A and B are shown apart, each in its own frame.
Chain A
Amino acid sequence: MSSFDISIQARASGDFHEATILEGLAPMDLLVVEREWSPERSNLMQELLAAGVDRRKWPQSLHWDWSKKAPALRLLESSGFGLVCEKKWQGVMMTRTASYSARLKADRGKPIVYLDFLEVAPWNWVIQDIHRSGLFRTIGLQLFWRAVQQSLDEGFKGRVGLHSLPRAEDFYRKCGMVEVGHDAAKQDLVYFELTQEGAEKFLADGGYK
């Protein structure tokens, strides 16, 4: 297993802070993360309610409560990664390497890293309606970067697949992922895939055109 020494940028000062992406979180660790994150989620919800922000504009993962899903989490085979800075979980990612294979025609059937879950700590969210600017940035970006590294380590040549939440689709397009289409098996979320060429471009210059 590998941990990566990275740095993340504080939004207010622009300073870079030392951080680490750890590997080896179990799905149940999400519950520990959730305990750390849930008070902040509650605060955000109160602020959004008080400000009368339309619910359609709320963060799409605001209501996720993993504690109610603990039994199901025990059954999942996923392993995970956590980005730690200043002794706090700033972001978490779970991946699978066996359950999914490539769907794009050129790569169909080839193994991929399937990104099951990626979430950034709520204190890093930017929510303009309630003047929240977020503490650190590049959390999600570097976790996705880590998923591409995992794919390379596994010999999958950088191939990564994921189902994006609707408001995150633009991010994955800009990372160079190919939009495969809406997936009826996943409540019509859009499925994206990163090809070998896409991964090379993403790692070299970000993949953004």
Chain B
Amino acid sequence: MTQQSNRTGPSREWLLRMADVEDSCPSVSVGGMACDLDLLAPPHSNGQRIFGRLVEFARRQLGMSVEQLANEADIELSEIVEIEMHDETVPRVRTVFQLAKALKIPEGRLMEVAGLATPRPEISHAALKFAARSESTAKLTFNEREALEEFVKVLVEVSDGGMRD
């Protein structure tokens, strides 16, 4: 740092008045540089990826095609394809409820997995465990089936426990 000359800052009176203004706002952060460096987007959430994987596995477990699930759940075929194929897709609330019904998964829990409700710790833990063990393939392997069953079991158990809905 080069040599600096010292000057005086704002008056105490100004400061106290403006401190209350600052406190009335949740943030003062500026984002130009962060935007240029692509820091603005939140870190990729695993939520949507896990939700898509769960929908796909549960559908295959029930032996349904994407088309059959679309008919059963009364939602657009393209919407299910989007959910299963694209990690970034945020599903609509109605879609999640319809899928929960068709896939026989508790609605509230599926909302948590979809990122539309704050997940409780046991759901987050089970979801991460499921994500870690599952790979997308045409047919469920033994391990995938086991992972899916374990995840759905947690979703059902937590729901039955009546902890929160």
Contacts A5-B7, A165-B27, A189-B35: A55 and B18 contacting too (C-beta < 8 A)?
A: no
Residue in chain B with minimal CB distance to A30: B33
Q: How large is the interface on B (under 10, 10 to 19, 20 to 34, 35 or more residues)?
A: 35 or more
Given contacts A118-B30, A165-B31, contact A126 B18 (CB under 8 A): no
Question: Which residues in A have their C-beta under 8 angstroms from that of B38?
Answer: 69
Tell me whether A13 is interfacial, beta carbon within 8 Å: no
A115 within 8 A of B: yes
A21 interface residue (CB < 8 Å to B) = yes
B94 within 8 Å of A (CB atoms) = no
Known: A116-B32, A206-B21. A60 touches B10 (CB 8 A): no
Q: How far is the CA of A72 from the CA of B36 in the complex (A)?
A: 9
Q: How far is the CB of B42 from chain A (nearest CB, A)?
A: 6
Residues of A within 8 A of B93 (CB): none
Secondary structure of the A contact surface, majority rule: mixed
Interface segment out of the listed A36-44, A103-111, A168-176: A168-176
B84-133 with Cβ < 8 A to chain A: 118, 120-121
B26's partner among A22, A167, A203 (CB-CB below 8 A) is A167
Residue A85 is within 8 A (CB to CB) of chain B in the complex: no
Q: State the Cβ distance, A100 to closest chain B Cβ, in Å.
A: 9
Asked whether B31 lies within 8 Å of A164 as measured between CB atoms, the reply is yes
B residues in contact with A3, CB < 8 Å: 4-7
- Between A25, A170, A171, A186, the greatest number of chain B beta carbons within 10 A of the residue's beta carbon is seen for A171
